[in-house]
Amino acid sequence: MSKGKLPKQFLQIKKRHEKFFDAVEELGKVVKNEGPLDEETAHLIQLAAAATIHSEGAVHSHVRRALEAGVTPEAIYHAILLLTSTIGFPTVIAALSWAEDIIKSRKK
């Protein structure tokens, strides 16, 4: 899990269900090591999936992790824009605004 600033509610739930979160985090590590995709590409794929399911929290999380892995803000925006014909303009605009929440907070 990203070491950046995590929402308080998320941290409370994680503390309450520590074994569950440990298992999910381990699964994530194993899956990422199963194939040839680099870390940056993996984060962009996960970001696209988060945008597709309209999950603001997951978009925040995956943007945060992508930035920590060295993905540029421009690449993040492009990855989301590429979804337009698949998930629609309104969903893309929402995902861009959620990505911007994290990107702008990093610039401060």
Contact 103, 74 (CB under 8 A): no
> So what's the pLDDT on residue 8?
87
Rg of the chain over Cα atoms, rounded to whole angstroms, equals 14
Would 3 be classed as within a structural domain? no
Would 49 be classed as within a structural domain? yes
> So what's the pLDDT on residue 66?
97
Report the alpha-carbon distance of residue 64 to residue 102 in Å, rounded: 6
- Domain extent, residue 17, equals 8-107
Would the CA dihedral through 4, 8, 12, 13 be positive or negative?
negative
CATH of the domain at 45: 1.20.1290.10
> So what's the pLDDT on residue 2?
44
Query: The pTM is what?
Result: 0.84
> So what's the pLDDT on residue 4?
54
Would 75 be classed as within a structural domain? yes
Q: What is the pLDDT along the chain (108 residues), one digit of tens a residue?
A: 444 577 788 889 999 999 999 999 999 899 989 999 999 999 999 999 999 999 999 999 999 999 999 999 999 999 999 999 999 999 999 999 999 999 999 876
Angle at CA 54, nearest 5°, toward 50 and 57? 65
Would 24 be classed as within a structural domain? yes
Domain count for the chain, please give it: 1
Would 100 be classed as within a structural domain? yes
